[in-house]
Structure 1
């Protein structure tokens, strides 16, 4: 009989707002599904099936972001005898499993802490509550095992009391094979910078556009591309005010595009801009590197790991649009350095594969589940 894994998360791979964390989870789980029975429990969403079997994983969807917490507790209580391991995936939201799952049968999976993100994305007083309670909420889990995706997050976990021996870093992966250099697209004639992701202040689109305005004054023919869900209200309320009217024609909002078009535009761009305040890793950094384009990031958790502390991408000296603009200029002024970073990023991207992620997770499961089985045999 296969060991049974229960994954608890606030979103799954089919959720309309699924992002890099959900891709990571699905790609990792599907690679061990031949040897493990896997149930993924998360909130329902419009158009989603209550139960769906996908790539060897049973997806169960119940309730909403709040009600799913007691519903998950109820599901565990009903199936506890058949469940060998519960993995509580924390991404702002979590399931408080230390309160009802035995230590030997649970683990935390966390991509990133959310420290300053609360103040950027949530209104007071809820922002203060979220930020102030994050450390004590994490400390509920500190005596157990934890999985994460970067050294930055691992360091954050150690700082709140986790044991180094209990924290495992799983490698990032890519959903496509990095292109050979001869397949890279020719760069745009004009300096062209790309932002790919949600329109959110903490993700960095505001800072990216402010930096572009600075650079465009020096390079009048510069262009800016935005790929991702087009939010007209956000553009009008937050982005237009920081871009002079005469520069707005240089900015193109493509909205959602196919994966093929996204990678093509990534390859044609001078650089990807990803000035987020905090990430688990920053998957688009690796995607861009895989098609021959370096990324400019802030020195922020996760992103510093994705660019290997400035060796495989550009890392701004401070978290300001001015510092970001300085690195954008460096892309344009120093072709020799640009090519070195471009090549280094591509080499690093070639080491990333979901098969490696899956194997690392499989190794962890084999190491962690054997002691549980032995303990149960002698109990």
Structure 2
């Protein structure tokens, strides 16, 4: 017998286990991807099992949500609530936004259901930048071992980029079971391309999560170099993140004498984000790794060239030399030189903006949903 509050789930044919809800204050690209995609799929009904400390506006969308925990740390142990619930679904799916929880795989075997996993990127050595060594080492080993187990049993793997696909193959996932479904950009695409007017001054923007692995300090160091050539350059850094990392970045800004050049906005609304992306002359991404980088894609949709490191994910979303520049990983001097090149050359900037918008037009959440739906429908057809 399933809980009374979940009786409506009897007619839902896909259950998705996702540690964070789209309404979770710590939600990132993985949660946005899942939300945007399944909202647009009409051939299947979804129940998302997740954690969140607050309610979002997702209840008005086409899928339902079962919050089993307010804290994502307790999400795996709370999945015991779903043992009997899972048997009522045709397909069991896990959105691996952090690490595999194993429970969905066990449930798929218990009820002989096809098991689909969504993998955005593999953390790997990036963990050692964010966590104390003992914890990072344990999670590093756990991630590798759990994904190797998933490689043996997953019916289908959906990932967001060719870079992530190659990593999954190295871990033992069969190539024919991996499908690449890139993300889209913005919920209301038709309004994005209207009224794109750039700032009257050189504006560099980063909008995204403020975490240590994003290496935003490299952007600030690069701005100190850019300032010597472009004295009136402005840099805006915005997004959710760790308060400790924010303080470290502010201290770095003060130490480099950049208080008048760098502005920290903190969390901003979707409307503010779009406004900054439209006004920016350059969008900068300095991450250690990305799955695909929705942020870079959104920037290009707004006619803003991207400058970043040549890392997994960005090599998929940015066409080097056409929609932006990708420089050797970790070389913030080269990062600064690429920014200067775009900021001082209006003809180059306008040409890159044109190509960026053209490239971004090949992506949409509608197209992502269509591909995603096709793949999961194919899985159900094979086992029926």
Instruction: Tell me if TM exceeds 0.5.
Output: yes
Alignment partner, residue 67 of structure 1: 74
The answer to whether the aligner puts 1:31 opposite 2:43 as a matched pair is no
Alignment partner, residue 98 of structure 1: 105
Secondary structure at 2:64 match in 1: strand
Alignment partner, residue 377 of structure 1: none
Distance 2:333 2:68 in 1: 46
Distance 1:321 1:239 in 2: 18
Conserved 8 A contact 1:179-1:291: no
Q: Residues 141 and 55 (structure 1 numbering): CA distance in 2 closer, same or farther, change over 3 Å?
A: same
Distance 1:291 1:282 in 2: 15
- Indicate which of 224, 234, 250 corresponds to 2:245: 234
Output the TM-score relative to the length of structure 1.
Answer: 0.89
Output the TM-score relative to the length of structure 2.
Answer: 0.88
Distance 1:203 1:176 in 2: 27
Distance 1:179 1:271 in 2: 21
Cα deviation, residue 366, structure 1: 1.7
The answer to whether the aligner puts 1:12 opposite 2:24 as a matched pair is no
Distance 1:110 1:30 in 2: 19
The answer to whether the aligner puts 1:188 opposite 2:200 as a matched pair is yes
Alignment partner, residue 48 of structure 2: 40
Distance 2:356 2:370 in 1: 23
- Residue correspondence of structure 1 range 274-313 to structure 2 within 5 A: 274-313=285-324
Distance 1:36 1:246 in 2: 55
Cα deviation, residue 323, structure 1: 2.1
The answer to whether the aligner puts 1:370 opposite 2:348 as a matched pair is no
- Indicate which of 118, 139, 148 corresponds to 2:148: 139
Q: Residues 235 and 68 (structure 1 numbering): CA distance in 2 closer, same or farther, change over 3 Å?
A: closer
- Residue correspondence of structure 1 range 247-286 to structure 2 within 5 A: 247-286=258-297
Secondary structure at 1:67 match in 2: helix
Secondary structure at 2:257 match in 1: helix
Cα deviation, residue 42, structure 1: 1.1
The answer to whether the aligner puts 1:221 opposite 2:227 as a matched pair is no
Over the aligned positions, Cα root-mean-square deviation in angstroms equals: 2.4
The answer to whether the aligner puts 1:336 opposite 2:336 as a matched pair is no
Cα deviation, residue 179, structure 1: 6.1
Distance 2:199 2:170 in 1: 43
